Amino acid sequence: MAGAFAWGAAATTSLAAEALPAFVSQIDAKTIAVISDGDFRASTYRDGKLAAPSADRRDMLTLIRPGKRPSRAAVPVSNSVTAPPEVMAISPDGRFVYVVERVGQRSGAATLVKDLAPGRRITSIDIRNAAKPRIAGSVEAGPMLESVRVSPDGRWLVVTANSPEHAMVQIVPARGGRLGTPQSFKLGELGIERKDGAPRGGIDATLADWHPSGRFISVNLNTRNQVFFLEVKPGAEGKLALAPWGAPVDVGRDPFVGRFTPDGGHYVSADWGRNFEARNVEGRLPETASRLSLIKLAPRERTGPAARHELVSSVDSDRSSEGLAISRDGRPIATVNMRETALAADSPRYTREASISYFSFDPERSALAKVGDYRFEGMLPEGGSFDATGRHFLATVFEYADSAAPVGGLEVWRVGDAARPGLTHLGRIAVPHGAHHVELAR
């Protein structure tokens, strides 16, 4: 774990030898980071069976360097696809990647999902030399870590965790890639009313993210159909304190992930719409479109519980949207939609095609409009990101139905302009099996 994985295993050797597509040099990023889960297969959600242990299925962080002479390297890092895509985040200066695990790395005897222990590890990876990434350190938090995001100044991580008793937000010092002792804040003690008899008091936190000012944090409460906002305040002994910023905002069903707009005036929640009472994947996945909820935030000078945030718009995406990305200028927005690619091939609802839903956003008018859906083949696509200029969009694919060998992918689109908005598919970058999120160091 201390050094870079040199692509020596059988499957990754073929990837390393495969030339990167010419369009990679056009992507505006210093480094493209892709996280892959080697323990799961696409079918694991249906049958609970882990992939057979092999050299070509490993938990892996892949780093691709665009430019005139593109290259790639990788390092093993424990992670899990069972969480939101945001199990990985890059520091604002592009020097470190942070990864959390929702379930722990399996032992040799584990064959089923139920054999996996709750994940507790946060790992810091030094990518200053992207050709030779190295593990910089780790700390235990959690359990059942769901997401990690880095503060705008790079000094703090915010992590969500759902223990059997409590849903939590955890704040972790991160100075130059060095991780400090986590602070834990139980959401049931921060203004979210608990429900007697329900696991964690009926509170589940899927994603927490930082406001661009660093003064506030969002928390998506997907089983309560709400987004909650917290104010970050200085605490004792160099720690931080959290306090409610307004009341929770009701949004659509199952708000799985979300993002603040770059100007800090709005919050966009991607509402997946799953049925949590269903006993199988087919029953859980919605047959109707997921939605984006647009929240106009209170002015920043209005703090405390009395601050008023307002749901101002709701727009359909496509079925089973999971990933959400907003460009740096805040105007193009995209969701990555799994559709029914997770179902068995003999299911009448099964489809080989996932999609990207592309939206335009006007922050001055609080107007969110859908441009279109863009289909592509790939199983379990989840995370996505725009490049620095917003001219390219990248989405992860966990598996491909017709692939002879275990392999994941990055599907890449060129983004249109105001005269011709929309997406044009450029092609695919092969990455290790189980890719489920991508972020770009700029």
Predicted confidence (pLDDT) at residue 2 exceeds the cutoff of 60 = no
Q: Taking the alpha carbons of 161, 163, 169, 171 in that order, is the dihedral positive or negative?
A: negative
Predicted confidence (pLDDT) at residue 6 exceeds the cutoff of 50 = no
Hey, where are the domains in the chain?
A: 136-441
Q: Residue 29 in contact with residue 388, Cβ under 8 Å?
A: yes
Round to whole Å and give the CA distance between 127 and 314.
Answer: 38
| Higher-confidence position of 97 and 131 | 97
Question: Which 8-state DSSP code applies to residue 201?
Answer: G
pLDDT at 14: 58
Confidence of residue 1 (pLDDT cuts 50, 70, 90): very low
Q: What is the mean pLDDT of residues 60-88?
A: 94
Measured in whole angstroms, how far is the alpha carbon of residue 86 from the centre of its chain? Answer: 2
Q: What is the pTM of this model?
A: 0.95
Round to whole Å and give the CA distance between 361 and 9.
Answer: 44
> What percent of the chain is modeled with pLDDT above 90?
85
Predicted confidence (pLDDT) at residue 419 exceeds the cutoff of 90 = no
> What percent of the chain is modeled with pLDDT above 70?
96
Q: What is the pLDDT of residues 197-245, one digit of tens each?
A: 888 989 999 999 999 999 999 999 999 999 999 999 998 888 999 999 9
Show the tokens assigned to 144.
């059942």
pLDDT averaged over every residue in the chain: 93
pLDDT at 53: 85
Round to whole Å and give the CA distance between 58 and 45.
Answer: 18
As its CATH architecture, domain 136-441 has 7 Propeller (2.130)
Q: Which helix (H) or strand (E) holds 142?
A: none
Q: What is the mean pLDDT of residues 155-182?
A: 96
Round to whole Å and give the CA distance between 280 and 265.
Answer: 39
pLDDT at 175: 93
Predicted confidence (pLDDT) at residue 12 exceeds the cutoff of 70 = no
pLDDT at 16: 58
Based on the number of CB atoms within 10 Å of its own CB, is 403 exposed (0-12), middle (13-18) or buried (19 or more)? middle
| Higher-confidence position of 403 and 258 | 258
Q: Residue 431 in contact with residue 62, Cβ under 8 Å?
A: yes
Find out whether the peptide bond into 85 is cis, omega within 30 degrees of 0.
no
Q: What is the mean pLDDT of residues 79-90?
A: 97
Backbone angles phi, psi at 113, to 5 degrees: -55, -40
Q: What is the mean pLDDT of residues 414-424?
A: 91
